[in-house]
Each structure stands twice: as C-alpha cells, then as structure tokens.
Amino acid sequence: MTARHRSSYLLSDRPAVWSLALTGIVFAIDLSLPLGVAAAVPYTFAVLLALKARARWFAPALAALCWVLTVAKMGLVPERGTTEYWKILVNRGLALFAIGMTTFLGVRRRQAETERAEAEEKAREHLATLARMGRLHTAGQLATGLAHELNQPLTAVCLQAETATRLAEGGAQVPDLLPTLREIAEQSHRAADIVRGLRRMLRQDEPAPTQVDVNEVVRAVCRLIDTQTRRAGVDVRLELAPVPPVRGDRVQLEQVVLNLLQNAVEAVSGITTDPRVVTVATSSDGPDRVTVRFRDTGAGLPPGDEHRLFERFFTTKPNGMGMGLAISRSIVEAHGGQVWANAAPDRGAVFTFTLPAGKG
C-alpha cells in the first residue's frame, strides 16, 4: 500500500478523520487555556472514536500522538500564574494515565469482540462441515446397502456360470444347460435393476411421493434455523394461509425452503439499516396451486443478473458455491412447480415457488 493510497484509505474512514480532527482541536484549546488535567478528557474521547476506525493500529497510534501533544504542551506554553511545577507534572501525568488506560481497555475490548466473531464464524463453518459429512454419510449408507443387495444376484450368477461350465466339461448337451443359462441372464437383470434403482434415487428425478403440508414444512425449517436468525438479528415473520397438501418428497421440499430462507436471512443480515425482516407467506392460488413467497428487506438482486440466479455455480456471495438455488430449482421442477425471483416493491427481493396441489 503506497502512502497516497493509505491516506485516501484513511480519509474514507470517518472515525479516523473525526478523531484526528478532535485531537487537533483539543491540542489548540489545551495550548490556549489553563485547563490542566481537564485537557486529557477530550483526548480520551478522541481515542474512543479512533477505536471505531477500520485499521487496528489506528487507535494506539492516535493515543501515542495524544501523549506526545500532552507532553509537548508543557514545553511550548508556560503555565500561567503561580502554579507550582510539581502540580503541573502531576496534572500532565494524570492526563497521560487517562489516555493510556482508555486505549488499553478499548483495544482489549475490541480484541475480545474480534475473537468472539471468529469463534462464531468457526462454529458456522463447523455446522456446514457437519451438513456435508451428513450427505457423505448418507451416500456411504447407500453404497453399503447397494453392495449387500448386489451380492445376492452376483453369488447366484457366479455359481451358476461355473456350474454350467463344469456340466459342459462333463459332456452335458446344450438343452441340459438351458435352465442354468436362463438363471444367469435373469440374475444379471436383477443386478442391473438394483443399480438402476440406486441411480434413480441419486438423480432424484422421481421423488418418493407423500402428502406434504407446506405450512408444516415452513414451520419446521424456521425452527431449524431459529438460532441462526436470532443471532443475525433478523425478524422472520410467517404469514401462513390454509393451503391444500402437495404431493412430493418432504425432505426435498424442506431443502428448498431451507435454501430460500437462508438466502433471505443472509441478504438481510448483510445490511446495517433497519428494518431487518424476512417474511414467509403461503397462499393457494385457486384449488390446485400452492405458492410460497420469501420477501426480504435486504440489498436486493444483482441488477441485470436476475435470470442467472438459478444457474449452477452462479453466486454473489464470497463463499458461495452457487449450488443452492440450482438445486432448489431442480427439486421444484421435479415436483412439477416453478421458482423465480424478482425485486420487492420498496426494497429487497422476493423469491417465489409454486407447487401443484395434489390429492391421492
């Protein structure tokens, strides 16, 4: 970072500028008025202000400057009247002590805050890792089950093939071998069916259908991330209207709701101005469609990129994978529904998905 960059960086940092200005004013007043120890008080204000600056080194540096100025005053302007020299020294010493203590306590507190933030970040990462491990675990269980399932037809095929070979070597005629050969073909198909079934399960293009109450799904997901939203200081409001059940895979629909809700909460927790509200509303447009809306008061959608939001690997987040919305869309579409995003009337974004209501 060059000196020029650094100064422009500092100038863009309001607390830094204000604290420097305050220090200058206090020094001017200190030079012209016989305030004694009272001059130290505004210096501590300047240090407190400097603690809000982005650069960590700034507050200690400003405190050092204040110290220098406090000492310098003695040399530059003689105390008026008949104040004894030791009283001046004590006054200045107290001032230096006040500035020093303020800096020390302020820096320590800022350190503690940073550490807490880092710990929270670590906990979040840990949760994410757990979720990933969970998916891997499920995949592992599937693989174990698959291995066991495939073992039976494989055992049959191996034995039958070797038996047929042995019979043929012993001079058996083709008609005698036919039942064995048919058995081999049949068991091979059985193995193929098992593999096909697993692939279908992993591709998730055929959800295991049950009757799902969307309102119940929304409530469950809200409970799931309740801590997260409260910690982020986000107010999640539910506006759940009575809706007909939809036909689909409950776990997958929970995944969609979780995804969209988490996105909304993240969008809102990124802003500094109130209100920080996420509204989840369900409604039924006619008897055969259920709609779920996630409205947030966040920064809104990236202009010009609305249509790319649901593409794989497209992300606006620094640590995003760009998979959440893509997965959500594939799930919703597999359920015969649609998902889209648009800007909210005043500010923020609205994500909406609809599902066909289904009975039976």
Partner 1 sequence: MEPEPTVFVVDDDAAVLRAIAGAGKVLGRPVRSFASAAEFLTAYDPAQPGCLVLDIKMPGMTGLELQQELADKGLTIPIVVVSGHADVRIAVEVMTRGAVTLLEKPFRLDELLTHLRAALELDAADRARAVRQAETDSRLAVLTPKEREVLEAVATGKTNKEIAEELGLSLRAVEDRRARLMKKVQCRSVAELIQMLADRQGTGL
7-19 as b/e, with b when 16 or more CB fall inside 10 Å? eeeeeebebbeeb
Q: Which is nearer to partner 1, 1 or 174 (CB)?
A: 174
The three-class DSSP label of residue 110 is: helix
Taking the complex as a whole, the smallest distance from the CB of residue 143 to partner 1 amounts, in Å, to 13
Selected binder of partner 1 within 158, 185, 202, 323 (CB under 8 A): 158
First to last CA, the chain: 67
Residues in CB range of 357: below 8 A, 6 or more apart = 243, 244, 245, 246, 284, 287, 288, 289, 290
Please identify, using beta-carbon distances, which residue of 76 and 158 lies nearer to partner 1.
158
Out of 116, 166, 308, 347, the residue judged to bind partner 1 by CB under 8 A: 166
Residue 223 contacts partner 1 per CB under 8 A = no
Task: Please say whether the beta carbons of 312 and 326 come within 8 A.
Answer: yes
**Alpha helices (H) in 40-84, listed in sequence order:** 40-50, 58-76
- Least distance to partner 1, CB of residue 189, Å: 11
Going by the DSSP 8-state scheme, the letter that residue 115 receives in this structure is H
Minimum CB–partner distance for residue 236 and partner 1 (Å): 46
Q: Can you tell me the distance from the alpha carbon of 169 to that of 296, in angstroms, rounded to the nearest whole number?
A: 76
CB of 195 to partner 1, least distance (A): 16
Pairing assessment for the beta strands 349-356 and 277-284 based on DSSP bridges? unpaired
Asked whether position 162 contacts partner 1 by CB under 8 A, the answer is: yes
Given 129, 155, 211, 342, the residue binding partner 1 (CB under 8 A): 155
Token pair, residue 329, equals 């869309």
CB 151 → partner 1: shortest distance, Å? 4
Which of 164/221 has CB closer to partner 1?
Answer: 164
Contacts of residue 256, Cβ cutoff 8 Å, sequence gap at least 6: 328, 331, 332, 339, 353
**How many chain residues are in contact with partner 1, going by CB under 8 A?**
20
Site for partner 1 in 179-218 (CB under 8 A): 180, 183, 186-187, 190
Question: Which residue lies nearer to partner 1 by CB, 138 or 152?
Answer: 152
Nearer to partner 1, 153 or 348 (CB): 153
Which residues of this protein are in contact with partner 1, per CB under 8 A? 148, 151-160, 162-163, 166-167, 180, 183, 186-187, 190
